[in-house]
């Protein structure tokens, strides 16, 4: 019998985790009354900073792809850290690590981006097997970082389904000190559990991409759901919104801020409805 952790408040769920990043995330969700993560996929540092400053008041988390910034320089990290303190949110570098243990340990700690040194949360595909968690946790765990596994994807024709998803959850279950949850479309507690395995107190943080208020998809296979569908209908904890908020003009900070506020309100209302439906 799986647990229903998503019927508890975010604040109460901070106590279900030992990982410091997981605790911080749930505490931030509760404190800011926002379960919105904004994904900022721009290629200029100036645009990244402007968008983060505009959406900062309304988010629990900023999702980055620092590897697409043409003018990335490590001094940018200080500016990013300043914004996270100013607006009280965490960073999630959406690196989608997907290599063998030895390689991902280097990719996480080294290179020009030094992701482990600043990103509270990152993610990995389970496809290489458990060695990818071992490699990443050798770097991230001493720093108090957290990892999400990609148990499902929101794209058409995704292969992260069925037995693949079950194997991902089993891998996470074996590494609860570092793996705090999933990129997924729904709750993952109890998925792929072995016969007789006790999963009654299980709690995973679920971040879900592919959220839109208006769009239904893009030309490259991305598919969309509304905040209410994701949070109330599917029990996801954090909604990730990208181009739906910052559109095509990174300079339109008033519009961007207003859109983030609207997504935040919709996501939070869905959460309140969810915990009230006990």
Question: Quick one: 173 exposed, middle or buried, by C-beta within 10 A (0-12, 13-18, 19+)?
Answer: buried
**Active-site residue, 94 included:** yes
SS3 call for 85: helix
Residue 41 annotated as binding? yes
Q: Tell me whether residue 5 or residue 101 sits nearer to a copy of itself (CB atom).
A: 101
By CB under 8 A, tell whether 131 contacts a copy of itself: yes
Q: What is the spatial distance between Cα 243 and Cα 256, in angstroms, rounded to a whole number? A: 10
Among 5, 56, 135, 181, indicate the residue that binds a copy of itself (CB under 8 A): 135
Residue 46's contacts (CB-CB under 8 Å, 6 or more residues apart) are none
Burial of 40 (0-12, 13-18, 19+ CB in 10 A): buried
Site residues (CB under 8 A) for a copy of itself, limited to 5-44: 41, 43
Residue 47 appears among annotated catalytic residues: no
CA distance 109 to 75: 17
Kindly state whether residue 107 participates in binding a copy of itself, applying the rule CB under 8 A: yes
* Catalytic option among 94, 203, 237, 259: 94
**Hey, what are 53's tokens?**
């400053």
Exactly one of 47, 53, 88, 99 is catalytic; name it. 99
Residue 76 makes contact with a copy of itself by CB under 8 A: no
CA 269 to chain centre: 20
Give min distance, CB of 1 to a copy of itself, in A: 27
Residues 6+ apart with CB under 8 A from 212: 224, 225, 226, 241, 244
Is 218 among the catalytic positions?
no
Residue 221 near a copy of itself by CB under 8 A: yes
Please choose, out of 85-93, 101-109, 197-205, 228-236, the segment that lies near a copy of itself by the rule CB under 8 A: 101-109
Residues annotated as catalytic are 94, 96, 99
Q: Which residues are annotated as a binding site?
A: 41, 63, 154, 222, 242-243
Binding-site ranges for a copy of itself (CB under 8 A)? 41, 43, 65-70, 72, 94, 96, 98-103, 105-107, 110-113, 125-132, 134-135, 150, 153-160, 164, 167-168, 171, 218, 220-222
């Amino acid at each position: 019998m799986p647990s229903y952790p998503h019927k508890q408040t975010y604040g109460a769920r901070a106590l279900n985790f030992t990982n410091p990043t997981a605790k911080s995330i749930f505490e931030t969700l509760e404190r800011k009354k926002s379960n919105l993560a904004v994904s900022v996929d721009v290629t200029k540092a100036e645009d990244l900073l402007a968008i983060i400053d505009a959406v900062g008041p309304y988010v629990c988390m900023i999702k980055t792809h620092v590897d697409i910034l043409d003018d990335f320089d490590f001094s940018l990290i200080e500016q990013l850290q300043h914004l996270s303190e100013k607006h009280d949110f965490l960073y999630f570098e959406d690196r989608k690590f997907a290599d063998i243990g030895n390689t991902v340990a280097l990719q996480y700690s080294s290179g020009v981006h030094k992701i482990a040194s600043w990103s509270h949360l990152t993610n990995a595909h389970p496809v290489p097997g458990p060695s990818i968690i071992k490699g990443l946790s050798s770097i991230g765990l001493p720093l108090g970082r957290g990892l999400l596994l990609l148990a499902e994807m929101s794209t058409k024709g995704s292969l992260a389904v069925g037995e693949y998803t079950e194997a991902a959850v089993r891998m996470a279950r074996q590494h609860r000190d570092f793996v705090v949850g999933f990129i997924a479309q729904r709750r993952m507690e109890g998925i792929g559990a072995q016969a007789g395995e006790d999963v009654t107190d299980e709690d995973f943080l679920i971040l879900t991409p592919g959220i839109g208020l208006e769009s239904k998809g893009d030309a490259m296979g991305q598919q969309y759901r509304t905040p209410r569908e994701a949070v109330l209908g599917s029990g996801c904890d954090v909604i990730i919104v990208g181009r739906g908020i910052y559109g095509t003009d990174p300079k339109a900070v008033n519009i961007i801020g207003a859109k983030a506020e609207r997504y935040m309100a919709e996501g939070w209302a869905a959460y309140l409805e969810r915990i009230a439906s006990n």
